[in-house]
Amino acid sequence: MLELRKLSKSYASGRPVLAGLSYTFRAGEFVAIMGDSGVGKSTLLNLIAGLDQPDATPDGAPPIVLDGVAMSALDDDAATRLRRAKMGFIFQAFHVLPHLTLEQNVALPLLLNGLPDARAALMLAAVGLDGRGADYPHQLSGGEMQRVAIARALVHRPALVLADEPTGNLDPDTAHSVLSLLRDEIAASGACTIMVTHSLAAAQMADRTLILTKAGLQETTVVKPFAQ
């Protein structure tokens, strides 16, 4: 579904952030990526989303391939169109637009894709905010706002969901509730989800956990609580 082939990224100063990452993400799986601060986790998500350009590979092969499409070959407009159709992005700080109602926020990806917006209300109901479509973000708690962000990221049925510390601003109970919701929703949609997190509790909710280090991506085993 998503292939990373010798993916590298250096800053303009020449300092390398990512060096030769290779990995294959499969459709329908929920993968957590952990690692120290500054190791390049968010940079990796930005590269996968086409928001930043990777370094060229030594053999000239495309370093990021999504459903057979080489991301680095796309210009800005084409990358935008691909993101719009195939990706959903969830951020730590929610980034729900304050001047739009909840339903308008969730409907944005549908409108951008030229799709009818009826599914927005269904998605709000699916994340436990049924009947709140006319409310504004300032009327919500942090956990509810992240639910809206999840609904917005999934409403257009993306093939790939990228989540950057989605529970970083939430208390443990709310974080667990939001992640359970995210896991259920992506299981229902069949989307591949890559979640960057510092939280072991969040990583326990994923199917697989990878550790990002200077040496690359390495799979690790996270002991899951018995209750799961």
Rule CB under 8 A: which residues touch another protein? 49, 51, 77, 80-85, 87-89, 91, 93, 95, 97, 99-100, 108-109, 112-113, 152-153, 162
| H helix runs in 87-227, sequence order | 102-112, 118-126, 142-154, 172-189, 200-203
The edge-to-edge listing of strands for the beta sheet with 16-25 is 16-25, 2-10, 64-66, 69-70
Q: Are 178 and 195 in contact (CB under 8 A)?
A: no
Give the residue with the Cβ less far from another protein, 86 or 183. Answer: 86
The residue (of 7 and 49) whose beta carbon lies closer to another protein is 49
Q: Nearest approach, Cβ of 220 to another protein (angstroms)?
A: 27
Dig out the tokens for 31 from the structure.
């993968």
What's the closest the beta carbon of residue 65 comes to another protein, in angstroms? 19
Angle at alpha carbon of residue 97, lines to 153 and 173, rounded to 5°: 60
Pick between residue 160 and residue 211 the one whose CB is nearest to another protein: 160
Smallest gap, in angstroms, from Cβ of residue 109 to another protein?
6
Amino acid, res. 157: R
CB of 48 to another protein, least distance (A): 11
> Shortest Cβ distance from residue 167 to another protein (Å)?
17
Tokens of 1: 């579904």
Secondary structure class of 225 (helix, strand, coil): coil
- Within 10 A of 105 (CB to CB), how many other CB atoms are there? 26
Rounded CA separation 100/135 (Å): 9
- Name the residue nearer to another protein (CB basis): 155 or 211: 155
Least distance in angstroms from the C-beta of 77 to another protein: 7
Tokens of 82: 């691909």
Q: Are 2 and 160 a contacting pair, CB within 8 Å?
A: yes
Closer to another protein by Cβ: residue 65 or 106: 106
For another protein, the closer CB: 132 or 152: 152
Euclidean distance between CA atoms 134 and 127, whole angstroms: 15
